[in-house]
């Protein structure tokens, strides 16, 4: 259906290590969005990808959209303690302006 699967559910890394979360769909996506939610906070929009094979960077964050537009990834280089939180991907539903969110990946960083 329209669900998006995120893996892993949880990751605990040492500060300075890299981190990647993946978002997969069984159907082609028109676009994919990524959000970050800090502990105790609300989700914050990070980026939207719309083109096949698209790669966008925000400082240490690299976002990719697969060639088949069925998967996406978020990679963080050299994690910092400020990166802790839950990262959600979201796809737009086929009709209307609603999003379907993945279950999220919880990132913890050990300093």
Interface positions with other proteins (CB under 8 A): 31, 33, 39, 41-45, 48, 86, 88, 90, 92, 96-99, 101, 103-104, 106
Taking residue 37's Cβ as centre, other Cβ atoms within 10 Å add up to 15
CB of 54 to other proteins, least distance (A): 15
Nearer to other proteins, 57 or 98 (CB): 98
Task: List helix spans (H) across the chain.
Answer: none
Nearer to other proteins, 77 or 108 (CB): 108
Which residues, 6+ apart, have CB-to-CB distance to 69 below 8 Å? 28, 29, 30, 52
CB of 47 to other proteins, least distance (A): 9
Nearer to other proteins, 33 or 79 (CB): 33
CB 105 within 8 A of CB 86: yes
CB of 81 to other proteins, least distance (A): 18
Q: Side-chain half-sphere of 6: how many Cα atoms within 13 Å?
A: 25
């Amino acid at each position: 259906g329209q669900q998006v699967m995120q893996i892993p559910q949880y990751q605990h890394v040492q500060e300075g290590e890299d981190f990647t979360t993946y978002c997969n769909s069984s159907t082609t996506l028109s676009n994919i969005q990524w959000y970050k939610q800090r502990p105790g906070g609300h989700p914050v929009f990070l980026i939207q990808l719309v083109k096949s094979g698209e790669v966008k960077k925000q400082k240490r964050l690299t976002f990719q959209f697969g060639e088949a537009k069925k998967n996406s990834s978020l990679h963080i280089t050299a994690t910092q303690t400020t990166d802790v939180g839950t990262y959600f991907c979201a796809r737009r539903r086929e009709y209307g302006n609603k999003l379907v969110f993945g279950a999220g990946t919880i990132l913890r960083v050990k300093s």
